[in-house]
Structure 1
Amino acid sequence: MTSLEIAANLAATVSILLAGRNSVHTWWTGVIGCGLFAALFYEARLYADVTLQLVFIATSFAGWWSWLRGATGAPLPVRHAPAATLGWMALVSVILTLGYGAILHRFTDAYAPFVDSAVLVLSLVAQLLLVRRMVETWAVWLLVDTIAVPLYASRGLNLTAALYAAYWLNALYGGWRWRREMASC
Protein backbone atom coordinates (compact mmCIF):
# COMPACT_ATOMS: atom_id res chain seq x y z
CA MET A 1 0.00 0.00 0.00
CA THR A 2 1.44 3.33 -1.07
CA SER A 3 0.66 6.88 -0.05
CA LEU A 4 -0.79 7.37 -3.55
CA GLU A 5 -3.24 4.49 -3.04
CA ILE A 6 -4.25 5.86 0.37
CA ALA A 7 -4.79 9.41 -0.96
CA ALA A 8 -6.74 8.21 -4.01
CA ASN A 9 -9.00 6.05 -1.90
CA LEU A 10 -9.58 8.76 0.69
CA ALA A 11 -10.65 11.33 -1.92
CA ALA A 12 -12.76 8.81 -3.85
CA THR A 13 -14.46 7.59 -0.68
CA VAL A 14 -15.51 11.11 0.26
CA SER A 15 -16.89 11.61 -3.26
CA ILE A 16 -18.75 8.29 -3.30
CA LEU A 17 -20.30 8.85 0.12
CA LEU A 18 -21.45 12.29 -1.02
CA ALA A 19 -23.02 10.76 -4.15
CA GLY A 20 -24.98 8.33 -2.00
CA ARG A 21 -26.27 11.31 -0.06
CA ASN A 22 -27.20 13.07 -3.32
CA SER A 23 -24.79 15.95 -2.61
CA VAL A 24 -23.42 18.14 -5.40
CA HIS A 25 -20.05 18.15 -3.63
CA THR A 26 -19.54 14.62 -4.95
CA TRP A 27 -18.27 16.14 -8.20
CA TRP A 28 -15.31 18.30 -7.16
CA THR A 29 -14.12 15.72 -4.66
CA GLY A 30 -14.44 13.15 -7.43
CA VAL A 31 -12.14 15.14 -9.72
CA ILE A 32 -9.40 14.98 -7.09
CA GLY A 33 -9.88 11.27 -6.43
CA CYS A 34 -9.96 10.40 -10.13
CA GLY A 35 -6.73 12.24 -10.81
CA LEU A 36 -5.01 10.33 -8.04
CA PHE A 37 -6.49 7.01 -9.19
CA ALA A 38 -5.34 7.63 -12.77
CA ALA A 39 -1.75 7.79 -11.53
CA LEU A 40 -2.21 4.71 -9.32
CA PHE A 41 -3.76 2.57 -12.06
CA TYR A 42 -1.06 3.60 -14.53
CA GLU A 43 1.55 2.24 -12.13
CA ALA A 44 -0.46 -1.03 -11.84
CA ARG A 45 -0.75 -1.39 -15.67
CA LEU A 46 -4.56 -1.20 -15.50
CA TYR A 47 -4.80 1.00 -18.58
CA ALA A 48 -8.55 0.75 -19.05
CA ASP A 49 -8.90 2.08 -15.50
CA VAL A 50 -6.57 4.99 -16.34
CA THR A 51 -8.80 5.85 -19.29
CA LEU A 52 -11.84 5.55 -17.05
CA GLN A 53 -10.44 8.00 -14.51
CA LEU A 54 -9.75 10.58 -17.21
CA VAL A 55 -13.30 10.22 -18.52
CA PHE A 56 -14.61 10.48 -14.95
CA ILE A 57 -12.83 13.80 -14.57
CA ALA A 58 -14.56 15.14 -17.69
CA THR A 59 -17.98 13.77 -16.68
CA SER A 60 -17.55 15.14 -13.18
CA PHE A 61 -17.55 18.65 -14.57
CA ALA A 62 -20.66 17.81 -16.62
CA GLY A 63 -22.35 16.28 -13.58
CA TRP A 64 -21.50 19.23 -11.42
CA TRP A 65 -23.11 21.57 -13.92
CA SER A 66 -26.09 19.29 -14.51
CA TRP A 67 -26.90 18.80 -10.84
CA LEU A 68 -26.75 22.54 -10.22
CA ARG A 69 -28.41 23.85 -13.37
CA GLY A 70 -30.02 20.96 -15.29
CA ALA A 71 -31.27 21.51 -18.82
CA THR A 72 -33.80 24.11 -17.68
CA GLY A 73 -31.65 26.04 -15.22
CA ALA A 74 -33.12 24.18 -12.25
CA PRO A 75 -31.39 21.31 -10.43
CA LEU A 76 -32.11 17.87 -11.86
CA PRO A 77 -34.51 15.71 -9.86
CA VAL A 78 -33.79 12.04 -9.11
CA ARG A 79 -35.72 9.93 -11.64
CA HIS A 80 -35.86 6.59 -13.45
CA ALA A 81 -34.03 5.89 -16.70
CA PRO A 82 -36.30 4.91 -19.60
CA ALA A 83 -36.29 1.15 -20.33
CA ALA A 84 -35.13 1.78 -23.90
CA THR A 85 -32.13 3.73 -22.61
CA LEU A 86 -31.16 0.88 -20.30
CA GLY A 87 -31.54 -1.60 -23.16
CA TRP A 88 -29.24 0.20 -25.58
CA MET A 89 -26.76 0.88 -22.78
CA ALA A 90 -26.60 -2.86 -22.02
CA LEU A 91 -26.03 -3.78 -25.67
CA VAL A 92 -23.37 -1.12 -26.19
CA SER A 93 -21.70 -2.19 -22.93
CA VAL A 94 -21.22 -5.75 -24.15
CA ILE A 95 -19.87 -4.61 -27.52
CA LEU A 96 -17.48 -2.05 -26.02
CA THR A 97 -16.24 -4.42 -23.31
CA LEU A 98 -15.36 -7.08 -25.87
CA GLY A 99 -13.86 -4.58 -28.31
CA TYR A 100 -11.73 -2.67 -25.83
CA GLY A 101 -10.70 -5.89 -24.11
CA ALA A 102 -9.51 -7.27 -27.44
CA ILE A 103 -7.50 -4.12 -28.14
CA LEU A 104 -5.84 -4.23 -24.73
CA HIS A 105 -5.14 -7.96 -25.10
CA ARG A 106 -3.59 -7.54 -28.54
CA PHE A 107 -1.61 -4.34 -28.15
CA THR A 108 -0.63 -3.94 -24.48
CA ASP A 109 0.71 -5.86 -21.53
CA ALA A 110 -2.55 -5.26 -19.67
CA TYR A 111 -3.45 -7.54 -16.82
CA ALA A 112 -6.96 -9.10 -17.23
CA PRO A 113 -7.88 -6.94 -20.23
CA PHE A 114 -11.50 -8.09 -20.56
CA VAL A 115 -12.29 -7.82 -16.85
CA ASP A 116 -10.56 -4.42 -16.74
CA SER A 117 -12.58 -3.36 -19.78
CA ALA A 118 -15.83 -4.48 -18.13
CA VAL A 119 -15.02 -2.27 -15.13
CA LEU A 120 -14.32 0.61 -17.53
CA VAL A 121 -17.45 0.27 -19.63
CA LEU A 122 -19.88 -0.43 -16.79
CA SER A 123 -18.40 2.43 -14.78
CA LEU A 124 -19.02 4.74 -17.72
CA VAL A 125 -22.63 3.61 -17.90
CA ALA A 126 -23.05 4.11 -14.15
CA GLN A 127 -21.40 7.53 -14.36
CA LEU A 128 -23.68 8.65 -17.21
CA LEU A 129 -26.71 7.58 -15.19
CA LEU A 130 -25.29 9.39 -12.14
CA VAL A 131 -24.74 12.60 -14.12
CA ARG A 132 -28.41 12.48 -15.17
CA ARG A 133 -29.49 11.61 -11.57
CA MET A 134 -31.12 8.35 -12.61
CA VAL A 135 -31.69 5.90 -9.77
CA GLU A 136 -30.53 2.92 -11.86
CA THR A 137 -26.98 4.18 -11.46
CA TRP A 138 -26.82 2.32 -8.16
CA ALA A 139 -27.58 -1.12 -9.66
CA VAL A 140 -24.82 -0.62 -12.20
CA TRP A 141 -22.41 0.52 -9.48
CA LEU A 142 -23.21 -2.69 -7.57
CA LEU A 143 -22.15 -4.69 -10.64
CA VAL A 144 -18.99 -2.61 -11.10
CA ASP A 145 -17.98 -3.07 -7.47
CA THR A 146 -18.64 -6.81 -7.66
CA ILE A 147 -16.24 -7.13 -10.61
CA ALA A 148 -13.66 -4.62 -9.37
CA VAL A 149 -13.03 -6.09 -5.91
CA PRO A 150 -11.35 -9.31 -7.10
CA LEU A 151 -9.57 -7.49 -9.96
CA TYR A 152 -7.92 -4.97 -7.66
CA ALA A 153 -7.13 -7.61 -5.04
CA SER A 154 -5.38 -9.69 -7.72
CA ARG A 155 -3.07 -6.73 -8.44
CA GLY A 156 -2.17 -6.25 -4.78
CA LEU A 157 -4.30 -3.11 -4.47
CA ASN A 158 -5.78 -4.41 -1.24
CA LEU A 159 -6.93 -1.09 0.18
CA THR A 160 -8.65 -0.28 -3.11
CA ALA A 161 -10.30 -3.72 -3.17
CA ALA A 162 -11.50 -3.31 0.42
CA LEU A 163 -12.91 0.11 -0.26
CA TYR A 164 -14.69 -1.11 -3.40
CA ALA A 165 -16.30 -3.73 -1.17
CA ALA A 166 -17.45 -0.89 1.08
CA TYR A 167 -18.63 1.05 -2.00
CA TRP A 168 -20.85 -1.94 -2.73
CA LEU A 169 -22.63 -1.23 0.56
CA ASN A 170 -22.78 2.48 -0.30
CA ALA A 171 -24.44 1.59 -3.62
CA LEU A 172 -27.14 -0.28 -1.70
CA TYR A 173 -27.59 2.76 0.53
CA GLY A 174 -27.55 5.20 -2.40
CA GLY A 175 -30.21 3.23 -4.25
CA TRP A 176 -32.39 3.11 -1.16
CA ARG A 177 -31.95 6.80 -0.38
CA TRP A 178 -32.51 7.98 -3.96
CA ARG A 179 -35.68 5.86 -4.29
CA ARG A 180 -36.96 7.29 -1.03
CA GLU A 181 -36.18 10.81 -2.22
CA MET A 182 -37.87 10.15 -5.56
CA ALA A 183 -40.99 8.84 -3.83
CA SER A 184 -41.26 11.94 -1.62
CA CYS A 185 -41.39 14.32 -4.60
Structure 2
Amino acid sequence: MISPSELAADITYGLSVWLAARNSVHTWWTGIVGCALFAWVFFHTQLYADVTLQGFYIVTSLMGWWHWLHGKNGGQLPVRRTDRWTCVLATVAALLVAAGYGALLHRFTNAYAPFVDSLVLTFSVLGQLLLMGRRVENWYVWLVVDAIAVPLYISRELYLTAGLYAIFWFNAWYGLFSWRRELAR
Protein backbone atom coordinates (compact mmCIF):
# COMPACT_ATOMS: atom_id res chain seq x y z
CA MET A 1 0.00 0.00 0.00
CA ILE A 2 1.27 3.45 -0.93
CA SER A 3 1.53 5.83 2.01
CA PRO A 4 0.48 9.48 1.67
CA SER A 5 4.05 10.55 2.51
CA GLU A 6 5.49 8.35 -0.26
CA LEU A 7 2.98 9.76 -2.74
CA ALA A 8 3.76 13.36 -1.75
CA ALA A 9 7.52 12.70 -1.93
CA ASP A 10 7.24 11.07 -5.35
CA ILE A 11 5.15 13.88 -6.84
CA THR A 12 7.30 16.68 -5.46
CA TYR A 13 10.64 15.10 -6.22
CA GLY A 14 9.43 13.94 -9.63
CA LEU A 15 8.65 17.55 -10.49
CA SER A 16 12.14 18.57 -9.35
CA VAL A 17 13.89 16.00 -11.55
CA TRP A 18 11.68 16.90 -14.51
CA LEU A 19 12.68 20.55 -14.04
CA ALA A 20 16.38 19.62 -13.85
CA ALA A 21 16.24 17.92 -17.25
CA ARG A 22 14.72 21.12 -18.61
CA ASN A 23 17.58 23.15 -17.11
CA SER A 24 15.19 25.09 -14.82
CA VAL A 25 16.40 26.74 -11.62
CA HIS A 26 13.10 25.74 -9.98
CA THR A 27 14.52 22.21 -9.72
CA TRP A 28 16.23 23.26 -6.50
CA TRP A 29 13.40 24.43 -4.23
CA THR A 30 11.07 21.66 -5.35
CA GLY A 31 13.88 19.20 -4.70
CA ILE A 32 14.31 20.46 -1.13
CA VAL A 33 10.65 19.79 -0.36
CA GLY A 34 10.77 16.36 -2.01
CA CYS A 35 13.94 15.40 -0.14
CA ALA A 36 12.44 16.25 3.23
CA LEU A 37 9.48 14.03 2.43
CA PHE A 38 11.69 11.19 1.17
CA ALA A 39 13.84 11.32 4.34
CA TRP A 40 10.71 10.43 6.30
CA VAL A 41 9.77 7.61 3.91
CA PHE A 42 13.25 6.07 3.82
CA PHE A 43 13.67 6.21 7.58
CA HIS A 44 10.53 4.15 8.02
CA THR A 45 11.71 1.54 5.50
CA GLN A 46 15.20 1.16 7.04
CA LEU A 47 17.04 2.62 4.05
CA TYR A 48 19.34 4.69 6.26
CA ALA A 49 21.87 5.56 3.57
CA ASP A 50 18.98 7.10 1.65
CA VAL A 51 18.01 9.14 4.73
CA THR A 52 21.59 10.46 4.88
CA LEU A 53 21.40 11.19 1.18
CA GLN A 54 18.27 13.33 1.60
CA GLY A 55 20.06 15.52 4.15
CA PHE A 56 22.94 15.92 1.70
CA TYR A 57 20.48 16.80 -1.07
CA ILE A 58 18.82 19.49 1.01
CA VAL A 59 22.13 21.21 1.80
CA THR A 60 23.47 20.90 -1.75
CA SER A 61 20.18 22.00 -3.26
CA LEU A 62 20.52 25.30 -1.43
CA MET A 63 24.08 25.59 -2.74
CA GLY A 64 23.12 24.51 -6.26
CA TRP A 65 20.26 26.99 -6.37
CA TRP A 66 22.63 29.83 -5.54
CA HIS A 67 25.39 28.50 -7.81
CA TRP A 68 23.13 28.20 -10.86
CA LEU A 69 22.02 31.80 -10.42
CA HIS A 70 25.33 33.40 -9.42
CA GLY A 71 28.08 30.89 -10.24
CA LYS A 72 30.02 32.42 -13.10
CA ASN A 73 31.35 35.90 -12.41
CA GLY A 74 27.99 36.82 -10.90
CA GLY A 75 26.10 35.44 -13.94
CA GLN A 76 24.25 32.22 -14.64
CA LEU A 77 26.44 29.11 -14.76
CA PRO A 78 26.59 27.53 -18.26
CA VAL A 79 26.28 23.82 -19.09
CA ARG A 80 29.79 22.36 -19.47
CA ARG A 81 31.84 19.13 -19.58
CA THR A 82 34.08 17.39 -17.04
CA ASP A 83 37.43 15.93 -18.13
CA ARG A 84 37.68 12.15 -18.37
CA TRP A 85 40.35 11.76 -15.65
CA THR A 86 38.18 13.58 -13.11
CA CYS A 87 35.25 11.31 -14.01
CA VAL A 88 37.36 8.16 -13.49
CA LEU A 89 38.71 9.35 -10.13
CA ALA A 90 35.23 10.36 -8.95
CA THR A 91 33.80 6.97 -9.93
CA VAL A 92 36.53 5.06 -8.09
CA ALA A 93 36.02 7.28 -5.02
CA ALA A 94 32.26 6.67 -5.11
CA LEU A 95 32.80 2.89 -5.23
CA LEU A 96 35.28 2.94 -2.33
CA VAL A 97 33.06 5.13 -0.16
CA ALA A 98 30.06 2.91 -0.94
CA ALA A 99 31.99 -0.16 0.20
CA GLY A 100 33.08 1.55 3.42
CA TYR A 101 29.68 3.03 4.26
CA GLY A 102 27.95 -0.23 3.39
CA ALA A 103 30.28 -2.09 5.75
CA LEU A 104 29.46 0.38 8.55
CA LEU A 105 25.73 0.04 7.98
CA HIS A 106 26.03 -3.75 7.82
CA ARG A 107 28.00 -3.91 11.06
CA PHE A 108 26.21 -1.33 13.19
CA THR A 109 22.59 -1.07 12.00
CA ASN A 110 19.65 -3.17 10.90
CA ALA A 111 19.85 -1.56 7.44
CA TYR A 112 18.27 -3.39 4.57
CA ALA A 113 20.70 -4.00 1.64
CA PRO A 114 23.40 -1.74 3.10
CA PHE A 115 25.86 -2.10 0.21
CA VAL A 116 23.32 -1.52 -2.57
CA ASP A 117 21.78 1.36 -0.61
CA SER A 118 25.28 2.81 -0.20
CA LEU A 119 25.87 2.62 -3.96
CA VAL A 120 22.69 4.66 -4.46
CA LEU A 121 24.02 7.12 -1.88
CA THR A 122 27.51 7.61 -3.27
CA PHE A 123 26.58 7.77 -6.92
CA SER A 124 23.74 10.15 -6.08
CA VAL A 125 26.24 12.40 -4.29
CA LEU A 126 28.41 12.33 -7.40
CA GLY A 127 25.44 13.05 -9.65
CA GLN A 128 24.31 15.92 -7.44
CA LEU A 129 27.77 17.51 -7.38
CA LEU A 130 27.94 17.33 -11.17
CA LEU A 131 24.41 18.73 -11.45
CA MET A 132 25.33 21.63 -9.15
CA GLY A 133 28.18 22.49 -11.51
CA ARG A 134 25.89 22.13 -14.53
CA ARG A 135 28.11 19.33 -15.83
CA VAL A 136 26.58 17.27 -18.63
CA GLU A 137 28.05 14.06 -17.15
CA ASN A 138 25.57 14.23 -14.28
CA TRP A 139 23.04 12.52 -16.53
CA TYR A 140 25.25 9.45 -17.03
CA VAL A 141 25.54 9.11 -13.26
CA TRP A 142 21.77 9.43 -12.80
CA LEU A 143 21.26 6.62 -15.33
CA VAL A 144 23.36 4.35 -13.10
CA VAL A 145 21.63 5.51 -9.90
CA ASP A 146 18.18 4.92 -11.34
CA ALA A 147 19.12 1.45 -12.61
CA ILE A 148 20.29 0.46 -9.11
CA ALA A 149 17.49 2.19 -7.19
CA VAL A 150 14.53 0.64 -9.02
CA PRO A 151 15.10 -2.95 -7.85
CA LEU A 152 16.13 -1.76 -4.37
CA TYR A 153 12.89 0.15 -3.91
CA ILE A 154 10.83 -2.71 -5.30
CA SER A 155 12.44 -5.00 -2.71
CA ARG A 156 11.18 -2.64 0.04
CA GLU A 157 7.70 -2.52 -1.52
CA LEU A 158 8.13 1.14 -2.43
CA TYR A 159 6.47 0.47 -5.77
CA LEU A 160 5.51 4.05 -6.54
CA THR A 161 9.04 5.25 -5.79
CA ALA A 162 10.49 2.44 -7.92
CA GLY A 163 8.18 3.48 -10.76
CA LEU A 164 9.26 7.10 -10.32
CA TYR A 165 12.92 6.12 -10.54
CA ALA A 166 12.15 4.14 -13.69
CA ILE A 167 10.68 7.33 -15.13
CA PHE A 168 13.77 9.20 -13.90
CA TRP A 169 15.87 6.80 -15.99
CA PHE A 170 14.06 7.95 -19.14
CA ASN A 171 14.19 11.55 -17.94
CA ALA A 172 17.98 11.21 -17.56
CA TRP A 173 18.21 10.25 -21.24
CA TYR A 174 16.17 13.34 -22.09
CA GLY A 175 18.34 15.50 -19.82
CA LEU A 176 21.49 14.15 -21.44
CA PHE A 177 20.13 14.87 -24.93
CA SER A 178 18.90 18.32 -23.94
CA TRP A 179 22.06 19.38 -22.11
CA ARG A 180 24.33 18.07 -24.88
CA ARG A 181 22.31 20.13 -27.36
CA GLU A 182 22.69 23.16 -25.05
CA LEU A 183 26.42 22.54 -24.85
CA ALA A 184 26.71 22.39 -28.66
CA ARG A 185 25.20 25.87 -28.97
Counterpart of 2:167, as a letter, is A
Q: Report 1:76-115 matches (<5 A).
A: 76-115=77-116
Structure 1 Cα separation of the partners of residues 148 and 184 of structure 2:
30
Counterpart of 1:96, as a letter, is V
Kindly indicate whether residue 149 of structure 2 is the aligned counterpart of residue 159 of structure 1.
Answer: no
Structure 1 Cα separation of the partners of residues 127 and 162 of structure 2:
19
* CA displacement 1:139-176 (0-9 Å, x = unmatched): 00000000000000000000000010000000000000
Kindly indicate whether residue 184 of structure 2 is the aligned counterpart of residue 176 of structure 1.
Answer: no
Structure 1 Cα separation of the partners of residues 40 and 73 of structure 2:
36
SS of the residue aligned with 1:78? coil
Residue 149 of structure 1 corresponds to which residue in structure 2?
A: 150
Gaps of 5+ in 2: none
> Which ranges of 4 or more aligned residues in structure 1 deviate by more than 6 Å?
none
SS of the residue aligned with 2:76? coil
Q: Report 1:102-141 matches (<5 A).
A: 102-141=103-142
Structure 2 Cα separation of the partners of residues 152 and 76 of structure 1:
34
Residue 38 of structure 2 corresponds to which residue in structure 1?
A: 37
Displacement, 1:85? Answer: 1.6
Counterpart of 1:178, as a letter, is W
| TM-score normalised per structure 2 | 0.98
Structure 2 Cα separation of the partners of residues 54 and 94 of structure 1:
20
Displacement, 1:71? Answer: 4.0
* CA displacement 1:32-62 (0-9 Å, x = unmatched): 0000000000000000000000000000001
Structure 2 Cα separation of the partners of residues 13 and 5 of structure 1:
12
Counterpart of 1:180, as a letter, is R
SS of the residue aligned with 2:30? helix
Counterpart of 1:160, as a letter, is T
Structure 2 Cα separation of the partners of residues 170 and 37 of structure 1:
19
Displacement, 1:84? Answer: 2.2
Structure 1 Cα separation of the partners of residues 29 and 55 of structure 2:
14
Residue 70 of structure 2 corresponds to which residue in structure 1?
A: 69
Structure 2 Cα separation of the partners of residues 71 and 43 of structure 1:
40
RMSD in angstroms over aligned alpha carbons? 0.6
Gaps of 5+ in 1: none
Displacement, 1:22? Answer: 0.2
